[in-house]
Structure 1
């Protein structure tokens, strides 16, 4: 009896022990004080994942407790990470920066157009901190800049200074980009408000900021440019897929992927001077499992023309196939439609854009990303609505801080891939036990009555 009770008490502990993960990665945070972070998944995470929907890829705090997170499978332009680059800037006297001045005689430029120095008798380069106008060189890729970020030395008094932002492509002809931008620094009861970001819309290469009124000079220390790469534009990752073990498919070749990659494109490396048309099929069974032989293949594309032409030193190849969807199947097949089947299997490559996880800084850091658990359950997402509201309120300029994956290390290992035993239906077992017990009781009573009748008849 005691042994049975002990087994029942240990059932919850056994279920919890199976809810662990195969591998883990420490997360390195770009900022220690951010409320939300975004980490991009690499190929090793996809290889470690068990479920095709990546439900077993989570972020845990130092105590092993999951933090609120959401998987963002499709990168988009609004989710691109903001990049910052230091810009060359120069102080100008107000007279040299007037509306009608010709800055071509005030600056020295290199052959590629970069401003090297300001040649003015009043101000040279950044030697005079009392200058109240600035010249900024955005560089060749100026149209990619979304904003200027200005950093200045703290001021004792409240600061609210207005500037006119002008732009030029040649330092001769200037046009007004923004008639009034405000630089603000205010303090109240230990709180500080600083407005030092100036939004830009496809600006020219050269900018200058001219004061609108007489005010104490700002001791500018640095100027940065902010630009945002459109995530997913050139972020394609390609995984070569080996030919599956065993006999090749009749009239084609089978391949086995070792990860849950969200495949969106397929490419193939053909032998020189060949041209073949394929059907592309996939399925989810793992190679070597008993379910592989019975699971049907799903067609993904028909009539895919692949070729390679070797013309002297030039090699021309067919373009990749766009699947127009995301497929995380592990088994892939190239089925011959027309042409000659190559003597050896061509190299198959699966293309995907890596997903990312946005998580909140809950619990106690440091944080780790874990992957690989057959026992992982689906969790209800509560982060995506918050992210949508923040982007609606602040626009594309709001993005979570960056977190990066550290070196991988084992956690529970291969044991995490063993599906947990199905929990026993104790209610049903109890009902059956009562039925059996009742049947035995009825049988005992019947046997007792029959025995009593036989004894009476013998007397």
Structure 2
């Protein structure tokens, strides 16, 4: 008996793997021999996914084996052609960039933040013997589009090698260093010229300043020009329109439920004609419990968002959608009217997103399936980035793998796939304990047998 239990304990413990994915979609390949494919994701895929990062979105071959695949967020909008514009700039004394509370310089701005004048109580900037000035640039509405600064000197033949520190700010108070040392060079030798008057810049900050690293030596500045690139929207926005859940009101707000964790980046509301309301917007999700450990806390996304709808001469005019800060993947949403705003009814909430995609390699046998929805997948994705980067370097930055489209979705394992698997029982330990107990009982029985036989021998004459 003991030998049999030991043999069972040493057997490899195997279990039949369950089908862990809730739903599946057949994939239709646009090219039969492309090698790599990209599958745009639709709302049904997001609704079926269990994890925020879509780790449970996979591709398998005809034999059910996983192939190399990776999930990617929507590509950022492409940059349009560069255009050059003259920038608004001002000269400041260098003390304005070195003193934290320099009251000798007053910067005047209008209601939109545009710098209109600078007053200084120190010696005139650019006067004989004065230190090199700081150059302040206001990008205005062009903020976020700048790709390079081009410096135009008044003396195009001057010899110079100058250093500057490039800084950026959104409020003219707190400044962050964008480049600790920018070199501007202009040299001439026997008819040959070495010139570097372009500063590469990519920032979303509105105000820039160039702080000289030397006391003097810079010639007069004729102007600063900016090389701008407008973002070209790909136009692939998708929208989910939600009705308010029951139980919402003006006091507590209106509540909305989204199926799936879509990558939301735009908000809009549909309200009755000739209405205007300022909203606070909140979101939350049950997988992020709040301070009490159970009910999740509402996260404030924006306050004072003014949405309006106006009917004028038979035309409907309305406010533009609100751009969110980052991507929101929560499933619960709340609109709360600001004090003084009285909505006549619960509005429709429209949530806009740009769908991501799955890139996979055509390994194994076709046809392929996209499988989605599992609480038990391991967080692993194929390292496809180096290959894709190399292909884009060879074929152009806009290159994409061949397209594969989703067929009709179907249930695979269903709701059971969303249940976390129970930790497997360690049968080896159970059997080993059983062996130890049986062994102890055998020893005890053997001892009892010896004791009994000893008593019998002692009773014999």
| TM-score, L = length of structure 1 | 0.55
In structure 2, the residue matched to 1:239 is: 240
Contact kept? 2:266, 2:321, Cα under 8 Å: yes
Distance in 1, Cα, partners of 2:12 & 2:337: 58
Alignment of 1:256-295 (within 5 A): 256-285=257-286, 294-295=295-296
Alignment of 1:51-90 (within 5 A): 51-76=51-76
Contact kept? 1:276, 1:338, Cα under 8 Å: no
Seen in structure 2, the aligned counterparts of structure 1 residues 77 and 263 have a Cα distance that, compared at 3 Å, is: closer
Seen in structure 2, the aligned counterparts of structure 1 residues 429 and 30 have a Cα distance that, compared at 3 Å, is: same
Structure 1 counterpart SS, 2:15:
helix
In structure 1, the residue matched to 2:43 is: 43
Seen in structure 2, the aligned counterparts of structure 1 residues 32 and 339 have a Cα distance that, compared at 3 Å, is: same
| TM-score, L = length of structure 2 | 0.55
In structure 1, the gaps of 5 or more residues are: 80-229, 449-459
In structure 1, the residue matched to 2:367 is: 366
Structure 2 counterpart SS, 1:403:
strand
Structure 2 residue 15 is matched with structure 1 residue 12: yes
Alpha-carbon deviations, 1:388-431, whole Å to 9, x = none?
A: 12212332353211111111122112222222223446799899
In structure 2, the residue matched to 1:411 is: 412
In structure 2, the residue matched to 1:398 is: 399
Across the two proteins, how many residue pairs are aligned to each other? 292
Contact kept? 2:19, 2:413, Cα under 8 Å: no
**Larger displacement relative to structure 2 (308-317 or 245-254):** 245-254
Alignment of 1:214-225 (within 5 A): none
Contact kept? 2:70, 2:381, Cα under 8 Å: no
Contact kept? 1:18, 1:375, Cα under 8 Å: no
In structure 2, the residue matched to 1:297 is: 298
Seen in structure 2, the aligned counterparts of structure 1 residues 62 and 343 have a Cα distance that, compared at 3 Å, is: same
Distance in 1, Cα, partners of 2:49 & 2:364: 24
Seen in structure 2, the aligned counterparts of structure 1 residues 77 and 400 have a Cα distance that, compared at 3 Å, is: farther
Structure 2 residue 41 is matched with structure 1 residue 28: no
In structure 1, the residue matched to 2:193 is: none
In structure 2, the residue matched to 1:85 is: none
Structure 1 counterpart SS, 2:405:
strand
Seen in structure 2, the aligned counterparts of structure 1 residues 10 and 250 have a Cα distance that, compared at 3 Å, is: farther
Contact kept? 2:250, 2:337, Cα under 8 Å: no
Contact kept? 1:60, 1:370, Cα under 8 Å: yes
Shift of 1:312: 3.5
Distance in 2, Cα, partners of 1:361 & 1:414: 29
In structure 2, the residue matched to 1:198 is: none
Alpha-carbon deviations, 1:264-292, whole Å to 9, x = none?
A: 11111112222111111111128xxxx99
Seen in structure 2, the aligned counterparts of structure 1 residues 293 and 411 have a Cα distance that, compared at 3 Å, is: same
Structure 2 counterpart SS, 1:379:
coil
Contact kept? 1:265, 1:323, Cα under 8 Å: yes
In structure 2, the residue matched to 1:386 is: 387
In structure 2, the gaps of 5 or more residues are: 80-230, 449-461
Alignment of 1:36-185 (within 5 A): 36-76=36-76
**Larger displacement relative to structure 2 (43-52 or 248-257):** 248-257
Contact kept? 1:237, 1:352, Cα under 8 Å: yes
Shift of 1:254: 0.9
Shift of 1:248: 4.9
Contact kept? 2:280, 2:337, Cα under 8 Å: yes
Contact kept? 2:69, 2:381, Cα under 8 Å: no
Structure 2 counterpart SS, 1:46:
helix
Structure 1 counterpart SS, 2:422:
coil
Seen in structure 2, the aligned counterparts of structure 1 residues 18 and 406 have a Cα distance that, compared at 3 Å, is: closer
Alpha-carbon deviations, 1:283-339, whole Å to 9, x = none?
A: 1128xxxx9961111111111111111224111111111113111110011122233
In structure 2, the residue matched to 1:376 is: 377
Distance in 1, Cα, partners of 2:314 & 2:60: 53
